[in-house]
Chain A
Amino acid sequence: MAVKYRKERIDRGIKARCDDIFALTSHREMLYLLLPRALPVALLLIFPLLQGVVGLYWERVVTFSCVIGLLALSWDLMAAVGLISLGQAFFFGVGAYIAGALNYYFGLPPIVTIPTATLAGALICTLLLLPTLRLRGIYFALFTLVLPLFFMRIIEATKILGGTVGLSSLSPLPNVWVELYVPIIALLVFLFAYRRLLFATDYGTILMGIRDNDRAVMAGGINIYWYKAQIVFIASLPATFAGAFLTHYYQFVGMPAFALDYSILPLACAVVGGIGTLAGPVLGAFILVPIFEALRAFGTLRVAMYSLALAIFVVTLPEGVFHYLRRKYHQFERLVPIGVEEGG
């Protein structure tokens, strides 16, 4: 005799009308909303304090996760206005090379080169992409895919900026605290600033409108090309920053800065984590990068295993980990008996 159950899902009942307006009546409910936001932030901020305990391996993994997280964040913000990029490596490489060149040729310290490379790099990227902002979907994607390859070959052919050898023995970051805290804090600042911009301002509403239907937004008297240009600039910032940071972290910049990895990995993070949430792609980075590192033991099979892991994620959770967790978090789920089956 077996009792049959069905799953019953109940909303927690703190959402009011819209998806992002909550009606909170107790400290418990406030904590309920605060915890999923505060916990990862606290963990990330505490992590560098444990540097002696966790070991160099995990420090590197977290730092690289932050770098890829910054790239994924950049990808997701551009996707929020319908600009699907396949070339985050371009932004990354431009930032990396500017920082490297400033340090190598002019001897400027990282505290100058990193902010300069972030801002100037974003500006250069925006200007280069300006003529393509009228392209949509696959056409824009293709253009961004080609850009880093183009720059890579130019550097290879003309031997400028160190050519195939690259620029080495650059200034290191001052100490291990900077190495750990700078990417973590940058990631958190960009994440929360972007989430506010996109989900809590009228500006963000316009951006999401452009993604939905750009012609309807034009009918509303909005110059969509100007907004797209602004977003390319704003979204370039974390990517050029990541490039500039990693240049000083490795004390080297070379053609690998334009490698396809930096284009594909952020995209994979966004897909695994959940597109359009900004937090999702960052979560994706903290899932995929550690997996990628842990698979080093497999040697040459590493990429095959990695692809398998990626495929499993995409097939089982096509909406993205973040969307899935958020949905589950806001619902109770319980089993309700629906009758007794005889002899079963």
Chain B
Amino acid sequence: MSEPLLKVASLSKRFGGVVAVDNVSFELEKGGALGIIGPNGSGKTTLVNLITGYVKPDSGKVFFKGRDITGLMPYQVANLGIARTFQLVRPLYSLPAFKNLIIPLCSPRVKKLRGGRYGDRDAVALDLLEDVGFERDSPVPYKLASSLPHGYLKRLELARCLALRPELIIIDELFSGMSMSEIASTISIIEKIREEGVTLIMIEHRLRELFKVVDRVIVLNFGRKIAEGTPQEIVENEEVKKAYLGAEVI
């Protein structure tokens, strides 16, 4: 029996009197794609922060490829191959867009790869930006991140993840604030990432788009996992409808 790539075992976190994440467990196979949904404030982003080391859990464990990664620093988690985007974009505003990618390209993880220590990092960065839809022969990749529109910044987040050559990417509400056409092109980028064998966790409010990409979904409400299953099962789940979707069926 193969080991799951990521195993989250009864993770809990309280902020003062609020239980943000309450005894959440799930497993994710290599190559899988998991969606996490739930109403606002249900603990989705906190769950991501717990997995990636930005917040320390009160109890519970996180295993990545069988190794206990609970309590590691965020950069250690990143170097193991777990990349994440931030819901509120965090570009490096004073740097040109392509220079934003120099940072993951200089990480120990990438330097250990073949040819990662030497070579032209700027060229690699420009290639990565092209992959996420920055026009190569335009001034866009050279513009300061502070002058880029929101949709580009969202995709810059994705490129920063890809630069790490991760095994698992956690995407936190990438589509919020994107136009429909941007979403469509981003979905095809994400599908391409999946084809390359990268495992995916997606947090998303846009369920129609999410269900196109993922093959399994867990639902959080008030920090607790209330359902898990295929997108079809989730849509039909009565408790989910009550907590999140309302009576209306999408």
Residues of A within 8 A of B110 (CB): 221
Convert A255-280 into 0s and 1s, putting 1 for each residue whose CB lies closer than 8 angstroms to a CB of B: 00000000000000000000000000
Instruction: Tell which of B93, B108, B139 touches A221, judged by Cβ atoms closer than 8 Å.
Output: B108
Do A209 and B95 form a contact, CB below 8 Å, given A17-B142, A216-B90? yes
Residues of A within 8 A of B91 (CB): 212-213, 216
Please, how many angstroms separate the alpha-carbon atoms of A55 and B102 in the complex? 50
Contact, CB under 8 Å: A212 / B83: no
Contact, CB under 8 Å: A212 / B75: no
**A interface list, Cβ under 8 A from B:** 17-18, 202-203, 205-206, 208-209, 211-213, 215-224
Within the complex, the shortest CB–CB distance from A91 to chain B, in Å, comes to: 26
Which of B92, B109, B121, B160 counts the most A-chain CB atoms under 10 A from its CB? B92
Q: Select from chain B the residue with minimum beta-carbon distance to A212.
A: B92
Do A219 and B142 form a contact, CB below 8 Å, given A212-B94, A212-B95? no
Within the complex, the shortest CB–CB distance from A81 to chain B, in Å, comes to: 12
Please, how many angstroms separate the alpha-carbon atoms of A212 and B93 in the complex? 7
Residues of A within 8 A of B142 (CB): 17-18
Within the complex, the shortest CB–CB distance from B24 to chain A, in Å, comes to: 22
**B interface list, Cβ under 8 A from A:** 52, 54, 73-76, 78-79, 83-84, 86, 90-96, 99-100, 102-110, 121, 139, 142, 160, 163-164
Residues of B within 8 A of A205 (CB): 95, 99, 102-103, 106
Pick 11 A–B contacts, CB within 8 A, sort by A. A212-B91, A215-B74, A216-B103, A219-B74, A221-B78, A221-B104, A221-B164, A222-B75, A222-B103, A222-B106, A223-B73
A-B contact count (CB 8 A): 87
Interface residue SS majority, chain A: helix
Which of A18, A208, A209, A220 counts the most B-chain CB atoms under 10 A from its CB? A220
Please, how many angstroms separate the alpha-carbon atoms of A213 and B93 in the complex? 8
Please, how many angstroms separate the alpha-carbon atoms of A208 and B96 in the complex? 11
Within the complex, the shortest CB–CB distance from A61 to chain B, in Å, comes to: 35
Please, how many angstroms separate the alpha-carbon atoms of A163 and B152 in the complex? 61
Please, how many angstroms separate the alpha-carbon atoms of A18 and B98 in the complex? 11
Within the complex, the shortest CB–CB distance from B40 to chain A, in Å, comes to: 22
Q: Select from chain B the residue with minimum beta-carbon distance to A224.
A: B75
Do A220 and B160 form a contact, CB below 8 Å, given A209-B100, A215-B74? yes
Q: Select from chain A the residue with minimum beta-carbon distance to B111.
A: A221
Contact, CB under 8 Å: B83 / A219: yes
Residues of B within 8 A of A202 (CB): 102, 105-106, 121
Q: Select from chain A the residue with minimum beta-carbon distance to B161.
A: A219
Residues of B within 8 A of A221 (CB): 75, 78-79, 104, 107-110, 164
Contact, CB under 8 Å: B90 / A215: yes
Do A206 and B74 form a contact, CB below 8 Å, given A17-B139, A215-B54, A221-B110? no
Instruction: Tell which of A208, A209, A211, A220 touches B78, judged by Cβ atoms closer than 8 Å.
Output: A220
Contact, CB under 8 Å: B95 / A219: no
Within the complex, the shortest CB–CB distance from B169 to chain A, in Å, comes to: 11
Contact, CB under 8 Å: A219 / B84: yes
Please, how many angstroms separate the alpha-carbon atoms of A213 and B52 in the complex? 17
Q: Select from chain A the residue with minimum beta-carbon distance to B74.
A: A218
Apart from A216-B90, A223-B75: 7 A-B pairs, beta carbons within 8 A: A206-B102, A215-B90, A219-B74, A221-B75, A221-B104, A222-B75, A222-B103
Q: Select from chain A the residue with minimum beta-carbon distance to B90.
A: A216
Residues of A within 8 A of B75 (CB): 218-224
Residues of A within 8 A of B108 (CB): 221
Residues of A within 8 A of B76 (CB): 223
